[in-house]
Amino acid sequence: MNDGENKWGDEYDGYVPALCKLALNKGDTYKISRHLTNLQRDSMGLEVNYENEHDIEIAELIINAKKNIIGL
């Protein structure tokens, strides 16, 4: 929840550390997309389809960002 102190903060901030840790610990597209899908199911209560194109695309963006920032 955005408490007004940080205009960029919201309820999704809690998901970022685990995603970063997964990406930095050599998480591949499958592992990251699976984690994203599990977040939707477990934390948000949404019905999900595993190996969906959107989560795979986001996982690829995360991996590419990591490569561009730290070169791993």
3-state secondary structure 21-58: HHHHCCCCHHHHHHHHHHHHHHCCCCCCCCCCHHHHHH
pLDDT for position 3: 57
Q: Which tens digit of pLDDT belongs to each residue from 11-68?
A: 778 888 999 999 999 889 999 999 999 999 998 899 999 889 999 999 999 999 999 9
- Of the pLDDT bands very low, low, confident and very high (cuts 50, 70, 90), residue 72 is low
